[in-house]
Structure 1
Amino acid sequence: MSWQHSTLQWPTSLNRIHQQACDVLNHVDGEMTAANGRLSQVGPKASFSQGTLSADALALLSLRQQLDGFLVSGQQLCITPYQFGIGNKKETGHVLSSQNAIEQMILKLRDPNDSKTPGGHVYAVMVLLSARTLAEFAQSLQRFGAVVPIPQWQAAARQASSELTIEQTKFDIRSAPLQPRFKAKQHLHTNPLRDTSSLLGSQLSQLESLSSDKNTVVQKLEALGIKRVSTLNNIKTSITALSQISGDVHVFCVDGSINAIATMIEHADVPNANYAHSAVALMLSDTPLDFFTELFS
């Protein structure tokens, strides 16, 4: 067996797929024109009434604005034991007491060198998570991250979980594989196959849509009704599951200038001040943080 010289040419298989699809799709324009002509003749004779729930739904469209009102813009400030210059490294892992975490937050709020420090009147929600042991700390971070996915806390959860097993894994040194390395299996979508797959896929989607015409309009409406009921049930189930959240944290809600907020935090007693593991997250916004206030109430 030897190397063979070859020239590029368009795959016959792809052209065959395209031609077979065109045998049907080329007639769509004429069929749609004829269908629209028949529909224009039937339209004046048909009478369709509004759904019985349409008026009730129309009166509730303002709920979208209420929902969007929870999505406020703001800033997050996080303190974890794994940030440079924050926590202390010990044999059992990184530690940061609740007292030290709060003191570090106060220093940061009074930092005159950060140009992005918010000015004026702001609303603040500060969350403190503390634990006696590293295992409790990692578990609490993971549970909290499932509800409020703060990136810095999620990273801290991964680092804390890693420290739990580092004693068992630090002596497990494996030989590195030779370069280059195999990657995970994936579609070999290199151009022009990627573009061809997209374009031919669009043609095949039209065929799949046309094939659905085997069902009458009544059957489609019945299927749509069943799909809507199923979708609403799934949404209701998901919302119920999402609302079943739990977790223990300490929260400090306040508003005012940054300096005033720092002073109020400074004069408040720190809960679990001597716990060895803690993380703090501060959310700031020019508008009230109603969602977080209610979430942590």
Structure 2
Amino acid sequence: MTWAPVTMRWPEQATQWMGGLSAAKDLAGGELASTAQRLAGLEGLASTNPGPVGDAAKGAITAGRAALAEQLGQAPACLVVTPFQSGIGQGKGYQRFLSAPNLLEHLAKKLDDVSDTGRPAGPQYALSILFLGTRLEQLASSLSRFNALLPIPDLVRTERRAQHLVKLETEKWEIPGAGPLPRWQALPLERCTVVKAAKQSMAGQLTVLESYAADSSPLGDLAALATRKVAQQQGRDQQLADLKELLTGGNPDASMLARLIGPGNTSELRRELLAGDAPGHEWVLCAGLMLVGSKEGLSFVQELVGL
């Protein structure tokens, strides 16, 4: 064997199997034309009659949509305070700390920050959640449990940073090993421009013919549709049941504290937030979340955190 110059060309041998599709494609074209004629002939001769479920479900649908819009359609104002934010945490370098009382002070201060255009206005409620910890792994664990149900970008970033800092402390003395270069790796041909376009075109040809191969009678289609609807309804019911079961019988988590205050304007909410008993400075690594909105808009999250 000798080396040969590269000549880019269409792979005729590799794609010769596409020639077997021609007869089926021609037949499909003829069937489409005759189907259009038959459908035109049925105009005025056939009609459909919807079932009784639609009328019976209209009331429940209207009430359900209204409840969804009331509880989940309103976007409350959200504020997240973490020790890793600039000017918030104390300490130097990677080691940042924020005690629980200082966290509450920062949350309260932002309620009166007139320079923040996103500050809520008017009489509203405030739902505050504190994540308490004394170590990075404890804070990361608390945030991971909360983010699994209600992921908020700032809290997700805080969780990841805490996890990375824990990993850094445990692995900073390990020296990773590196094998000799170069290394074998997979090369998906779909990444190549010509191969990707060719695959899309050939897959489209096969898909068109597969749609004819899967053809069935109208009665069979209706029976399959009814079966799929039943399976879909059962799947949705099971999904909701699994979610309810996941949140059933939970134990109180001392590393997460929640409180609902209001109604009131931002000044009144600030005074109420700082009033009463609060965690002390023994919790040196904390993060906080505050949601401000209407009573109805906060009701779902309020029940989610057990208030």
Would you say the 8 A contact 1:130–1:272 is kept in 2?
A: no
Would you say the 8 A contact 1:122–1:285 is kept in 2?
A: yes
SS at match of 2:150: coil
What TM-score does the superposition give when structure 1 sets the normalisation length? Answer: 0.80
Structural mapping, 1:142-291, within 5 Å:
142-174=144-176, 186-213=188-215, 215-243=216-244, 244-245=246-247, 246=250, 248=253, 249-271=257-279, 274-285=282-293, 288-291=297-300
Would you say the 8 A contact 1:253–1:293 is kept in 2?
A: no
Structural mapping, 1:33-182, within 5 Å:
33-41=33-41, 48-62=48-62, 63-69=64-70, 70-89=72-91, 94-174=96-176
Identity among equivalent pairs (%): 25
Q: 1:86 offset after TM fit, Å?
A: 2.5
SS at match of 1:289: helix
Q: Deviations over 1:78-105 (max 9, x none)?
A: 1122223333459996442211111122
* 5+ residue gaps, structure 2: none
Structural mapping, 1:10-21, within 5 Å:
10-12=10-12, 16=16, 19-21=19-21
Tell me the amino acid that sits aligned with residue 150 of structure 1: I
Q: 1:121 offset after TM fit, Å?
A: 4.7
Q: Deviations over 1:16-52 (max 9, x none)?
A: 4655445433443431332243345567665654324
Tell me the amino acid that sits aligned with residue 290 of structure 2: L
Tell me the amino acid that sits aligned with residue 66 of structure 1: A
Q: 1:31 to 1:157 in 2, by over 3 A?
A: same
Q: Distance in 2 between matches of 1:11 and 1:262?
A: 72
Q: Distance in 2 between matches of 1:272 and 1:240?
A: 39
Q: Deviations over 1:42-80 (max 9, x none)?
A: 676656543242322333332234324413234422112
Tell me the amino acid that sits aligned with residue 201 of structure 1: A
Q: 1:208 offset after TM fit, Å?
A: 1.7
Would you say the 8 A contact 1:123–1:288 is kept in 2?
A: no
Q: Deviations over 1:93-128 (max 9, x none)?
A: 644221111112222333344344344455432221
SS at match of 1:76: strand
Comparing 77-86 with 88-97, greater Cα deviation is found at 88-97
Q: Distance in 2 between matches of 1:183 and 1:101?
A: 48
Q: Distance in 2 between matches of 1:237 and 1:93?
A: 45
Q: 1:144 offset after TM fit, Å?
A: 0.7
State how many pairs are aligned: 296
Q: Distance in 2 between matches of 1:285 and 1:19?
A: 64
Q: 1:162 offset after TM fit, Å?
A: 3.4
Q: 1:103 to 1:14 in 2, by over 3 A?
A: farther
Q: 1:135 offset after TM fit, Å?
A: 3.8
Q: Distance in 2 between matches of 1:125 and 1:231?
A: 36
Q: Distance in 1 between matches of 2:117 and 2:50?
A: 57
Tell me the amino acid that sits aligned with residue 126 of structure 2: A
Q: Deviations over 1:218-246 (max 9, x none)?
A: 23322222222222222111112223325
SS at match of 2:259: strand
